[in-house]
Chain A
Amino acid sequence: MSAHTISVRLENKPGALARVSQLFSRRGYNIHSLAVGPTEHKDISRLTLRVDCSEHSLEQIEKHMHKLVNVLRVTELRPDESLERELALITVSVNPERRADLVALSQVAGAKVADVGRDAMTFELVGRPDQLDAFEELVRPYGVRELVRTGRVGLRRPSAGGRTTTPSVH
């Protein structure tokens, strides 16, 4: 078992997202994260899925997704060939005396202060998923009150050569 990122170009049609997510539950695959949004084409969405599975299961997932009528292309984003980014909002408990420490810490991590309350602050951080993990660990001792992450989105790097949207099967 290992984690894989799958990028799916999907027709922007009613039920299309449900068909993809249904396929995962139907076949017993677990989705870590799923991010969906518009692309350069108004009729096409891009899904970025993070799944934990064996190579064999990954191949099955890709083949089954290709059979969905609304799925245009399925690509595995390999870590060395792709860019992955994620956004997190983290509300941390902090009393006024320790605010400065926390802000300094967040600046080192590249996070921005999004909101400040009497006894808590919310940070926003955009970065690689591992950078978000690291920041989360860093602020954990202060007390994380609430946290939300968008789930990663990704694209193949142009610098990796080849076509930027290479189909992974067929």
Chain B
Amino acid sequence: MLGSDAILRALELEGVRVAFGIPGGAILPTYDAIARGTSVRHVLARHEQGAGHMAEGYARASGEVGVAIATSGPGATNLVTPIADAWMDSTPLVCITGQVRSSLIGTDAFQETDATGITMPIVKHSWLVQDVEELPGVLKAAFHVARTGRQGPVLVDVAKDVQEAEFDFDYPDEVDLPGWKPPRKVHPKQLAEAARAIAAAKRPIVYAGGGVLNADACAELLHLVDSAHLPAVVTLMGKGCLPDSHPLNYGAPGMHGSKYANWALNKADLVIAVGARFDDRVTGKVAAFAPGAKVIHFDIDAAEVGKIREAEIPVVGPLKLALAQLADAVGATATDGVAWAPWLRQLEEWRAQFPFRYTKVEGVLKPQTALEALRDLTADRDEVIWTTGVGQHQMWAMQYLVCDRPRSFITSGGLGTMGYGVPAAIGAKAARPNATVVCVDGDGCFQMTCQELATAALERLPIVAVVINNGWLGMVRQWQEMFYDERFTHTHLTHAVPDYALLAEAYGCAGFTVENEDQLEDALAGAFAAGRTAVVDVRCDPEEKCFPMVPAGAAAVDVIEAPDEEVVRA
């Protein structure tokens, strides 16, 4: 068998259904192998960054490992952003890149770049394969490392001559990685201590993050919350791990989280962190974060525990197991939430007192109105997956969309990668063809990766992209307005260029333009009914700011709410 065929056999044996990529010189033998036949569907992207984000969207929607394939040099460097994104958000990804021939490595050959070197700080591990005999073991290890422990990206860089080399293919059953030992158990003593702390708490709060989704521990979390009557806040990355409409779910804390979620987290006496990493966007000023709370920190990654906030009770191990065992332990000691009944009442009061709000103005289309319309229009659909870019629209999506199922909200959290939304949506659609996949995007984000509309159209992976078009790099504009004396330098994109509906049609997609609230519902309904990829250009108020807001470096309790006064504009 040739090395190139071995790569495909390995993907098949690892259960890969879809891979995303673009061919080029150093990976050509592997694309030639695709011509010889494989059960893996290859989706041809228009840019390697698109391929990488598609693989991420696929992974996040399915829970499987995403696979991206690219050539050497610029192919590999274009994958750097998705790799960094997957690293920050713990998305399991196997990137396979071609490399120049072994004999040319180190000579600055055409399209040679040190792919393993460039990506070293942003992968769990990487391999440069220069001997075809190593290929099966490396691929086996790559998938194993990507999906075990804290999930994340790996890179396999394969020299072109290795892809062309003939050898006897034998895929190993076991990995040979003596240094890779992610925790598989949870310390019973730590669990017992956690249960005791919960039993003693007066104001407990669960702080659930993306790790719950990665660990496939959503049912266990729900059981814990239900059985112990524990209130919870859920981060941006965790959205969907606990149903948004669950009465004990107080939504997202953090920079643009609700006041009640921030207060719930910061005024608690016990923070039960589960697969969350005390990101600065959640904590605000760390010294002022949850000052009266003891912290129990559940995580698969020991390095996250105690990194930002000291954990009085660290519990390192797989969350699925840990949460199930914790529910058992708490069930024996807790008293059906009675101990913290006043706290639950307080949380309800805050929720009623500080809802998300914005001021409607006659004749002005507010972005929040578009999100509400989207939410209502999709409410009766069985399976909806949302993706977003990064910025104001992402925060409004977090605030207004209701996600009651795991893996229904796919976003770029840690890296904050503009342009993530469209390709991630395409990847999600490839993973779950029966789902309605909607990308809520900003106009700035959309322009970073909209070439992938071609992929969506030609690969028959229909998505709906709703561009919250305020004509600006909106979040940057908001910071300029609030913190840079309204000097709006280089943030104005304009509503009109490009004409998104025409652009969509140029790519073989359906295009809709919404200029006022009256056109909103018809356009969105039209997009959902289009039967092909559709782009809805929703031209919104350019001045609307995203609230609530915790200014960078401020204490999270000092969250600024939307202004009270009626805003009157011409």
Which residues on A are within 8 Å of B, measured CB to CB? 11, 14-15, 18-19, 22, 26, 56, 59-60, 63-64, 66-72, 169-170
With A and B bound together, what is the CA distance between A67 and B125 in angstroms? 10
Q: Known contacts A60-B307, A63-B303, A69-B177; can you find 6 more A-B pairs with CB under 8 A?
A: A22-B120, A22-B121, A60-B303, A60-B306, A66-B302, A71-B179
Residues of A contacting B116 with CB < 8 Å?
15
In the complex, which residues of chain B have a beta carbon less than 8 angstroms from the beta carbon of A67?
A: 124, 149-150, 301, 303
Interface string of B112-152 (1 = CB under 8 A from A): 00001100110011101000000000000100010001100
User: Known: A11-B178, A14-B128. Contact between A170 and B302, CB under 8 A?
Assistant: yes
Q: In the complex, are the beta carbons of B120 and A63 less than 8 A apart? A: no
What separation, in Å, do the CA atoms of A129 and B117 have in the docked complex? 34
For B145, give its contact among A26, A59, A69 (CB under 8 Å). A69
Inter-chain contact A69/B179, CB cutoff 8 Å: yes
List of A residues within 8 angstroms of B179 by Cβ: 11, 68-72
* Chain A CB within 10 A, most for which of B125, B126, B303, B307: B303
- Chain A residues within 8 Å of B303, by CB: 60, 63-64, 66-67
Within 8 A of A (CB), among B70-128: 116-117, 120-121, 124-126, 128
- In the docked arrangement, what's the CA distance between A170 and B116, Å? 29
Complex: chain B residue closest to A73, CB-CB? B179
Residues of B within 8 A of A60 (CB): 303, 306-307
Contact A56 B177 (CB under 8 A): no
Q: Which residue of A lies closest to B302 (CB)?
A: A63
Contact assessment for A69 and B302 in the assembled complex, using a CB-CB cutoff below 8 Å: no
Select from chain B the residue with minimum beta-carbon distance to A169: B302
Cα–Cα distance between A63 and B117 once the two chains are bound (Å): 22
Name the B residues within 8 Å of A63 (CB-CB). 302-303
Contact A72 B307 (CB under 8 A): no
Q: Are B120 and A69 touching (Cβ within 8 A)?
A: no
Q: How large is the interface on B (under 10, 10 to 19, 20 to 34, 35 or more residues)?
A: 20 to 34
In angstroms, Cα B125 to Cα A60, docked, is 19
- Find the A residue at minimum CB distance from B178: A72
| Complex-state Cα separation, A101 to B111, whole angstroms | 62
User: Cα distance A15–B123 when bound, in Å?
Assistant: 13
**Cα of A70 to Cα of B116 in the assembled complex, Å:** 15
A59 to B307 alpha-carbon distance, docked (Å):
9
Chain B residue contacts of A70, Cβ below 8 A = 125, 179
A83 to B116, CA, bound (A): 36
Against A, the Cβ 8 Å flags (1 = close, 0 = not) of B513-548 are 000000000000000000000000000000000000
Which are the 10 A-B pairs with shortest beta-carbon distances?
A63-B303, A69-B125, A26-B121, A72-B179, A63-B302, A69-B180, A64-B303, A71-B179, A22-B120, A69-B179
Given A71-B179, A72-B178: A18 and B306 within 8 A (CB)? no
**Other-chain contact of A18, B120, B177, B302, B316 (Cβ < 8 Å):** B120
> Within residues 285 to 308 of chain B, which ones have a CB less than 8 A from any CB in chain A?
301-303, 306-307
Shortest distance between the CB of B345 and any CB in chain A (Å): 38
Of the candidates B124, B180, B302, B306, which one forms a contact with A56 in the assembled complex, judged by CB atoms under 8 Å apart?
Answer: B306
How many whole Å from A109's CB to the nearest CB in chain B?
41
Q: How far is the CA of A69 from the CA of B125 in the complex (A)?
A: 7
Across-interface contacts of A26 in B (CB, < 8 A): 121
Complex: A11 Cα to B178 Cα, angstroms: 9
CA of A74 to CA of B125 in the docked complex: distance in angstroms?
18
Q: Do residues A69 and B121 form an inter-chain contact, with CB atoms below 8 A? A: no
- A11 CA to B127 CA, complexed, in Å: 14
Contact with A along B137-181 (1 / 0, CB 8 A): 000010001000110000000000000000000000000011110
CB closest residue in chain B, given A59:
B306
Considering only CB atoms, which chain A residue lies closest to B120 in the complex? A22
Give Cα A170 to B316, complex, Å.
9
Residues of A near B177 (CB, < 8 A) are 69
Give, as a whole number of angstroms, the nearest-CB distance from A21 to chain B: 10
* 21 pairs from A and B in contact (CB 8 Å cutoff): A14-B128, A15-B120, A15-B126, A15-B128, A18-B117, A18-B120, A19-B120, A26-B121, A56-B306, A60-B303, A66-B303, A68-B179, A69-B145, A69-B177, A69-B179, A71-B179, A72-B178, A72-B179, A169-B302, A170-B183, A170-B316
Complex-state Cα separation, A66 to B150, whole angstroms: 13
Instruction: Return the chain B residue nearest A72 by Cβ.
Output: B179
Q: How far is the CA of A71 from the CA of B124 in the complex (A)?
A: 12
Q: Render B452-477 as a binary contact track against A, CB cut-off 8 A, 1 for contact.
A: 00000000000000000000000000
Report A-chain residues with C-beta under 8 Å of the C-beta of B125.
68-70
Whole-angstrom distance between the Cβ of A124 and the nearest chain B Cβ: 35
B window 166-205: CB within 8 A of A: 177-180, 183
User: Are the CB atoms of B124 and A69 closer together than 8 Å?
Assistant: yes
Closest approach, in angstroms, between the C-beta of A144 and any C-beta of chain B?
Answer: 37
Name the distance in Å between A19's Cβ and chain B's nearest Cβ.
Answer: 6
- Chain B residue with the shortest CB-CB distance to A65: B303
Taken together as a complex, chains A and B put the C-alpha atoms of A14 and B114 apart, in Å, by: 13
